[in-house]
Amino acid sequence: MRKPVIAGNWKLFKSIAESIALVDGLKPLVEKNRDVEIVVAPVFTALNRVSEALKGSNINLAAQDCFWEEEGAFTGEVAPKLLKDAGCSHVIIGHSERRQYFGETDATVNKKAKAAISAGLTAIVCVGETLEERESGRTFSVIETQIQGSLDGIPAETLANVIIAYEPVWAIGTGKTASDDQAQEVHSFIRGLLSRLSGVTAAENVRILYGGSVKPDNVKGLMGQSDIDGALVGGASLKADSFAAIVNFNA
């Protein structure tokens, strides 16, 4: 049914040489795994060289952000078709760090997701509540607003090119993972919401990843939940052995 996705978000870490060394270390550790869609997301400057290093492997390449226009006077931006040109098949959009530090909103996430899909990329759209939102009982309403706004106008047929990443902000980089039940509760809420917005079939086919302090020792429990279809991994994706252990969670 839904092929699991394990994606490594390298954030602002690693030079070109370090990025290539990491994928060279990773390739032999995951080469036999045909059951998981494996994705790595290096910094922009390393994308093209990493894409060459990944040729012939079972690892896909993602960027960590994109712009929504194809070209023009937009200093500093990168268009989805140029990410494709650099060898990407996926792009992460609306990560909470971008929402928190760079003014990303559901409206910009929506424009970026649509542009990414039109360029032939799979958009990994991130949502998640802060600790304050969770503690004040607003988790579901926050997630609902983010999903509705981020996916607005994306037709059900196109949802096949979207992966959702649920990343509670309080669990990112803190070592504090959501429990299996806490994560499953929100994943199931998201699938229910997608089913109301886009129909049961589209909702059943969308992969929903969990992110936030995923490690080799907690991935199995999370992946055992019926609506958790994979993981978006930060810290533990920066080393070949720990990322491979997460990718091979079923081995």
For the chain, give the longest Cα–Cα distance.
49
* CA distance linking residue 251 with residue 219, whole number of Å: 12
* CA distance linking residue 127 with residue 104, whole number of Å: 12
The nearest distance, CB 97 to ligand PGA, in angstroms, is 7
Please tell me which residue in 95, 104, 129, 133 is annotated as part of the active site.
Answer: 95
Residue 144 tokens, joined = 């609902």
The nearest distance, CB 190 to ligand PGA, in angstroms, is 16
The nearest distance, CB 175 to ligand PGA, in angstroms, is 8
Backbone dihedral region for residue 213 (phi beyond 0: left; psi -120 to 50: alpha; all else: beta)? left
Q: Is 187 a catalytic residue?
A: no
The nearest distance, CB 8 to ligand PGA, in angstroms, is 9
The nearest distance, CB 172 to ligand PGA, in angstroms, is 4
Which residue from 202, 248, 208, 249 is spatially nearest to 226, judged by alpha carbons? 208
* CA distance linking residue 195 with residue 142, whole number of Å: 18
Closer CB to ligand PGA, residue 165 or residue 202?
A: 165
Please tell me which residue in 104, 133, 167, 187 is annotated as part of the active site.
Answer: 167
Closer CB to ligand PGA, residue 46 or residue 232?
A: 232
Closer CB to ligand PGA, residue 27 or residue 99?
A: 99
Residue 199 tokens, joined = 């129909």
* CA distance linking residue 177 with residue 12, whole number of Å: 21
Q: List residues binding ligand PGA (CB under 6 A).
A: 9, 167, 172-173, 211-214, 232-236
Q: Is 90 a catalytic residue?
A: no
The nearest distance, CB 92 to ligand PGA, in angstroms, is 8
Closer CB to ligand PGA, residue 83 or residue 232?
A: 232
Answer whether 208's CB lies under 8 Å from 170's CB: no
In the chain, DSSP assigns E strands to 5-9, 37-41, 59-63, 90-93, 122-127, 162-166, 207-211, 230-233
Closer CB to ligand PGA, residue 9 or residue 198?
A: 9
Closer CB to ligand PGA, residue 164 or residue 214?
A: 214
- Cα torsion for 67, 69, 70, 71, to the nearest 10°? -100
Residue of this chain nearest to ligand PGA (CB atom): 234
Give the SS3 label for residue 102: coil
Catalytic residue numbers, as ranges: 95, 167
